[in-house]
Amino acid sequence: MGISSLGAGSNILTQDIIDKLKKADKGQFVDPITKKVSAEKSKSGKLDIVNALMKNLSESTGNVADAGLFNTRSATVTGSAVEVTAHGGSDIQDFNITVNHLATKEIEQSGSFDTADSSIASGDGQLKLSVGSKDFLVDYTSDTSLTDLKDQINKDAKGTVQASIVEVAKDDFRLFLTAANTGTDQDISITDVEGKGEHLDDQLKADTDDTDGYTNVQDAVDASFTYNGLDITRKSNTVNNLLAGVTIKLKEGTDDKPSTSSVSVKQDVKGIEDKLDSFVSKFNSTIRQLNTMTKSSKDAKDRGVFSDDSTIKIMKNRVMTMMNTVGQGTGGRLEDYGFSSKRDGTISLDHSKFETKLKENPKNTAAFFVGGDFTANGTTKTITGAFNEMKNTVNGYTKYDGTLKQLKTSYTTHVSSLEHQKELATNRLTAKYNIMAKRFASYDAMISKMNSASDMFTQLANAQANNK
């Protein structure tokens, strides 16, 4: 505040009086609005937390309501012969696998070359690379090096065979050809194409009798194993066409030393319970926060930010109540499957009780949770599923145009209205006290003149008295 001369003439109508009057009016007309703005902004911020909690709860109910949850499978393998992955919906079963030998890739090597840049031919020509039933033609010249040939094969026959150069010893470089796939019918050979020059060095020819020529390193063979004693062969060590929904990877075993694994494919109970535990955790976090935010108290500092908000209080009650209402009728109650509620609204899950129920009737348990056909007393009824019911309840609050979005909008609108009211009230006070300051200044001048006149009369009266 700048220095004011108001009251200098009379020392009565001062700026200090105006400031005190203005402060009193501000406390009556502006400060209450400021408090309301602060309270509404606080609610709006806390509502973002509530919205996030409810969205997490919606996600967890959706994870349990997923129809595929109860179709998940786990495979337990005893022994190191195989690895097994059981996909959703595969048959629950036990079986044994004995691996006699693994499927292998065909591997061939060339004869020896002095360097990787050694020429592969004495003149121009064309070679044929055969891999199983596939043929690849490669032109060469007397300048084509072993490295050139490797690069050309990897370009032309990519995905069928892999070429590489290995320095076996000093001045001993060889081209290795490895089939991309395992199993028989992957024989690899290199031959000259008749009539195209036929100048290829003997080190590369599959049909040469030269001891320095092209030789086999490993034959391609099919995998051989038994499934519950039944002899099986496959071209690959990854077997996904033996049992529906089950992928078997053969890992070890030879004809001299077969390897056996016992496999048990079961419902993935742990996976189901992990989803249920996640739901319990998120449900309890939501309820605890809502309990704090809606707490009633005579002491303002202990009162929850939404203690007087009926929308949030009703939402909390609906979320708590749904644990006791969903699944009523044909499917039973959540309590029957191991869920229980505490006095504060939080819940817990008895895994043992849930597992017993699941083991007794997997199909009915799945239907109760995610929806489907529920059979009881010889009668089958299609039900929605407890977690689908809960998901629908929660989504009513969290969806794009849901209750929480509408409440957020109402808070934003209310804050804007209050801030406008505050601006108007502040402007009114400013105008009021600007006018008052002008009036005080006028009155102050009048009083000052009167005081001056009074002083003059007093001096005259005193002078007359002295003359007498």
Sign of the C-alpha dihedral computed for residues 205, 208, 212 and 216 taken in this order: positive
Parallel, antiparallel or unpaired: strands 238-243 and 246-250: antiparallel
Closest CA to 410 of 422, 418, 398: 418
Kindly state the tokens that stand for 27. 């406390």
Are 307 and 297 in contact by the 8 Å Cβ rule? The answer is yes
pLDDT at 459: 66
Low-confidence ranges of the chain (pLDDT < 70): 1-14, 207-212, 328-329, 440, 443-445, 447-448, 450-461, 463-468
CA 103/CA 182 separation, integer angstroms: 6
CA 273/CA 265 separation, integer angstroms: 17
H-helix or E-strand spanning residue 150: helix 146-156
CA 15/CA 137 separation, integer angstroms: 105
Q: How far is CA 324 from the centre of its chain?
A: 30
Q: Enumerate the β-bridge partners of residue 88.
A: none
pLDDT at 418: 75
CA 323/CA 346 separation, integer angstroms: 10
CA 36/CA 42 separation, integer angstroms: 10
SS3 content of the chain, % helix, strand, coil (to 5): 45, 25, 30
Side-chain-facing half-sphere of 295: CA atoms under 13 Å: 15
CA 401/CA 106 separation, integer angstroms: 63
Q: How far is CA 336 from CA 65, 352, 358, 443, in A?
A: 18, 12, 11, 86
H-helix or E-strand spanning residue 126: strand 125-131
Could you give the 3-state DSSP secondary structure of residue 258? coil
Parallel, antiparallel or unpaired: strands 105-109 and 73-78: unpaired
Are 89 and 71 in contact by the 8 Å Cβ rule? The answer is yes
Q: How far is CA 21 from CA 9, 347, 429, 430, in A?
A: 21, 57, 10, 12
Kindly state the tokens that stand for 35. 């408090």
DSSP E strands in 354-434: the ranges are 372-376, 379-383
Q: What is the CA radius of gyration of the chain?
A: 45
Closest CA to 302 of 311, 292, 312, 313: 292
pLDDT at 350: 97
Angle of CA points 298, 303, 309, to nearest 5°:
110
Q: What is the DSSP string of 157-201?
A: TTTTEEEEEEEEETTEEEEEEEEEEESSS--EEEEEPTTS---B-
Q: Enumerate the β-bridge partners of residue 194.
A: none
Residue 147's contacts (CB-CB under 8 Å, 6 or more residues apart) are 116, 117, 165
Angle of CA points 85, 86, 92, to nearest 5°:
145
Domain ranges of the chain: 1-72+268-449, 73-103+222-267, 105-218
15-54 pLDDT, tens digit each: 777 778 778 877 788 778 778 777 777 777 888 888 999 9
pLDDT at 208: 56
CA 415/CA 407 separation, integer angstroms: 12
325-356 pLDDT, tens digit each: 887 667 789 999 999 999 999 999 999 999 99
Number of Cβ within 10 Å of residue 131's Cβ equals 23
Question: Identity (one letter) of the amino acid at 44?
Answer: S
CA 200/CA 197 separation, integer angstroms: 8
Closest CA to 335 of 295, 386, 275, 286: 386
Residue 448's contacts (CB-CB under 8 Å, 6 or more residues apart) are 9, 10
pLDDT at 173: 95
